A and B are shown apart, each in its own frame.
Chain A
């Protein structure tokens, strides 16, 4: 499958035709909404409290409507004029800005309670102009984002990395900028449902939220040795009754003639013999 970021830079790729798809194509809309909902979940915002969120690469504001539904106020940033026009037509609640997130996020310190982004980050991994350096642009994004996030706020990016180098690049730049957290892969065993989320945290390393679709994928592996000793904890004491009984049992299994077990088996002789 061809990747849109190989075809043209985002401000050109998302033209009026492409933007219209995001209001008409129900499949695309559903995918976007689903991923935005998962992002919201991963943001772990305080319940019953309206928050101010930043939508990076908001496009036509589909992901913003998910934020609206949960009662949050959002700002959206996007590089495509056409997409923002569609968002305006849809009369989204959030305020929209035309800007390149690779040049940084120009907000006052501590503004947002969270930031999220749906299918945007992979665009930054490409150099569309001679002046573009992906690593530098990612670092600028992450460092300015960190500055405008409030305390204990999170940032969640859903993105489509092309290869392992891109995930490495993105994660390393986020860490360099001072974020904690890392990559979360939902449904790692499915080619279709597999989704990458970069979950970034401020103010201390917290445990990563669990990924979806990973419950039953671990193989129950027990080494041979573990399996052997599972029945009994320790080796039997030599010359004890149990040891003798087991030895006789083994001989019987091997088909060798063995005296039957009686109450005298394994009993030591009295001194009178």
Chain B
């Protein structure tokens, strides 16, 4: 599940839940999958996002991400090849911003012209994927498991509103 989906998803289908947003993330496995940078789309989607939720989610996921083996492997690859492909550049970038001091809590005003910034947002929105973990409803504490990248939002009969 991408962070874009998390940003737009709520649990209001549950009985008795009014807002159900934002869902809390418990990330166990995180993967980076490459996806084509679509500048127009990122520009268009930014106003629709809840920025605070997005930054929080990114920080939360990043802490998991730092611990996974995938990263170290990729990082070794990066060191051995020394060719800066866009992908590894992105990864390295993520390492640099790894402790949440680069993506500020407030959205910058002139993001439309700042390509680097848009690329960073794109990377976090579209390329960071939660493979295993949980989504937790903020109101009822109902847990929605995420397995092999697909969140399970199926409800039991007694939970349908």
Query: A residues near B, CB below 8 A?
Result: 49-50, 52, 71, 73, 75, 79, 81, 84-85, 88, 93, 95-100, 103-108, 110-111, 129, 131, 140, 144
Contact = CB atoms under 8 A, between A and B. Distances in A.
A60 to B, nearest CB: 13
A84 B152 CA distance: 11
B13 A104 contact: yes
Nearest to A84: B150
A106 B40 contact: no
Interface string B145-159: 000111111110100
Nearest to A131: B157
B8 A108 contact: yes
A237 to B, nearest CB: 71
A50 B44 contact: yes
Contact of B48 (A93, A104, A106, A110): A110
B96 to A, nearest CB: 26
B9 interface: yes
A145 B21 CA distance: 17
Given A103-B160, A129-B157, A88 B148 contact: yes
Interface in B1-55: 1-2, 4-5, 7-13, 20-21, 35, 38, 40-41, 44-45, 48, 50
Interface of B: 1-2, 4-5, 7-13, 20-21, 35, 38, 40-41, 44-45, 48, 50, 148-155, 157, 160-161
A98 B151 contact: yes
A100 B161 contact: no
Contact of B154 (A79, A85, A95, A111): A79
Contact of B148 (A73, A85, A105): A85
Nearest to A136: B160
B76 to A, nearest CB: 25
Contacts of B48: 52, 110-111
B155 A103 contact: yes
Contacts of A131: 157, 160
Contacts of A88: 148-150
Given A95-B2, A111-B8, A106 B41 contact: no
A106 B20 contact: yes
A88 to B, nearest CB: 6
A97 B10 contact: no
A54 to B, nearest CB: 10
Contacts of A84: 150
Given A75-B8, A98-B151, A106-B10, 20 more contacts: A49-B44, A52-B45, A73-B38, A73-B41, A79-B154, A81-B150, A84-B150, A88-B150, A95-B2, A98-B154, A99-B13, A99-B152, A100-B155, A103-B13, A104-B161, A105-B13, A106-B20, A108-B10, A108-B21, A108-B50
B16 to A, nearest CB: 13
B157 to A, nearest CB: 5
5 contacts: A88-B149, A88-B150, A95-B1, A95-B2, A108-B9
Nearest to B155: A103
Most buried by B among A79, A85, A108: A108
A177 B135 CA distance: 29
A52 B2 CA distance: 14
A108 B47 CA distance: 13
Contact of B41 (A50, A97, A98): A50
